[in-house]
Structure 1
Amino acid sequence: MGRIIAVANQKGGVGKSTTAINLSACLAEKGKKVLAIDIDPQGNTTSGLGADKNAVENTLYELLLGEAETKDTIIKNVVDNVDLIPSNMNLSGAEIELVDLEDKEFILKKITDKLRRKYDYIIMDCPPSLSMLTINALTAATSVLVPIQCEYYALEGLSQLIHTIELVRDRLNKILKIEGVVFTMYDARTNLSLQVVENVKENLDQNIYKTIIPRNVRLAEAPSYGKPINLYDSRSTGAESYRLLAEEVIGREGE
């Protein structure tokens, strides 16, 4: 049974999509079979893995509303060993349409439960909000990976996210755990980045990944070419960092 990891933080611009794209690709590079699910209406993971979000016929939106089958929604091998359930702006309408449905928190779980046997990992890129889409992802997930940007307000909102995760665990998904916190956009030249890391370690009683993702020009460029970093610039520090993160994630398999 595959692990289902939700990449979540209600703050925007913390490197969620970057992490979902590159963790998926680096797990696949290590021989794992991966399904990436884009749960963000902005569709960054979709385009970052090389799919045209405006041209795809079926997306997660149609799948959640029962208007398309899973087999007609999955795009096979967007990158070697990575399949994708794409998303685009249509998904922003799902919030309203899901409200009246019975068991609305479990719709995504019903989909992923059928897919778990086919993949080693299902990586879900959540929207930057604690919305019904995020609740669906947390209900479907086995764990949550939280990217935190190395900046002054890093801890703000984090306690709210952890509270939401605990609520979901109590009421909807008993097995949900926090996979870990990963620091992103780390700038070794500033004292602030270092202070943020120390501050979070002191204040957060959570698993923190040893791997820290640096600020890296190549990492920022890669999505505009529709490629994960390990394919765009295999020798960049960004690629090396995400490979190390993938190794750490794999190392936690038995836990």
Structure 2
Amino acid sequence: MAEAITIANRKGGVGKTTTTLNLAYSLKELGKKVLVIDLDPQANLTRCFDVGNTENIKNIGHLLMTELEEEESYLVEDYTKSYDEIDIIPSSIFLSAVEAQMRSETGSERILSEIINQVKEYYEYILIDTSPSLNVLTINALCASDSVLIVADTQLFAVVGINELLKTIHKIKKRVNPKLKVQGILLTMYENRT
């Protein structure tokens, strides 16, 4: 069964996507079977995997909508692309529309969990790259994960945002996902001179 890890921080530009990409490749080099999920409407991780025009392919937005509408039969693999021996469920701007829809749905914080549960047995690691906010998508990622890796650059505002994220993680652990743990805080863009 895969270990699902969310890479998160509510601030943008701290290195979440780069960390997800490098972690995926490092795990692949260790011989692990890895799935990455781009849960950010900006789709930067998707671009790193050279998926191409995401508007013309099934992506995480379509997959979440399928689960949201409780369609009976679908295969997660139909939404998955493979690149350089790493599987990815890509993203697109369509995810923004899906996020708006999810806000009004009862129990929407568990939608990604339902999807991940279908594929956990096929992977050793599932890495979830999140958007730079504490929105319903990030909440979904935290509810579906075994752990969270908090990524922060060494600037003041990124570090300040960690406290809010830790409060949210505590609430999710208490109310929805008791197994959720913090893997650690990864400091990025460290400059020894400053």
TM-score class normalised by the smaller sequence: over 0.9
Q: Structure 2 length as normaliser, TM-score? A: 0.92
What amino acid sits opposite 1:142 in the alignment? Answer: D
Unmatched segments (≥5 aa) in structure 1: 191-255
Task: Give the Cα separation in 2 of the matches to 1:99 and 1:161.
Answer: 19
Q: Secondary structure at the match of 1:122?
A: strand
Match runs of 1:26-45 below 5 Å: 26-45=26-45
Query: In the alignment, which residue of structure 2 is the partner of 1:120?
Result: 124
Q: Does 1:185 align with 2:189?
A: yes
Residue 178 of structure 1 aligns to a residue in which SS?
A: strand
The code of the aligned residue for 1:42 comes to Q
Match of 1:162 among 161, 166, 184: 166
Query: Structure 2: 5+ residue runs without aligned partners?
Result: none
CA shift digits 1:91-140 (9 cap, x unpaired): 01112111232321100000001111100000000110000000000000
Over residues 128-180 of structure 1, what are the superposed CA-to-partner deviations in whole Å (9 max), with x where a residue is unaligned?
00000000000000000011101233321111000000011111101000011
Given the superposition, is the C-alpha separation of residues 86 and 53 from structure 1 closer, same or farther in structure 2, using an over 3 Å criterion? farther
1:208-241 CA distances to partner (integer Å, 9 max, x unpaired)?
xxxxxxxxxxxxxxxxxxxxxxxxxxxxxxxxxx
Quick one: higher RCO (CA 8 Å, sep 6+), 1 or 2? Answer: 2
C-alpha distance in structure 2 between counterparts of 1:43 and 1:137, whole Å: 16
The answer on whether the counterparts of 1:2 and 1:122 sit within 8 Å (CA) in structure 2 is yes
Q: TM-score w.r.t. structure 1 length?
A: 0.71
Q: Which of these residues, 53, 65, 74, is aligned with residue 80 of structure 2?
A: 74
Identity across aligned pairs (percent)?
40
Q: Is the 8 A contact 1:59 1:73 kept in 2?
A: yes
Structure 1 stretches of 4+ with a deviation exceeding 4 A read none
Give the partner amino acid of 1:72. D
Q: Is the 8 A contact 2:55 2:92 kept in 1?
A: no
Contact residue 63 and residue 73 of structure 1 kept, 8 A = yes
Q: Can you list the C-alpha shifts for 1:24-61, whole angstroms capped at 9, x where unaligned?
A: 11110110000000000000111112212435410100
Kept after mapping to 2: 8 A contact 1:43/1:53 = no
The structure that has the greater radius of gyration is: 1
Residues 59 and 79 of structure 2 are in contact (CA less than 8 Å); yes or no, is this contact kept in structure 1?
yes
Secondary structure in structure 1 of the residue aligned to 2:186: strand
What do residues 174-198 of structure 1 show as CA deviations (whole Å, max 9, x unaligned)?
Answer: 10000111111112222xxxxxxxx
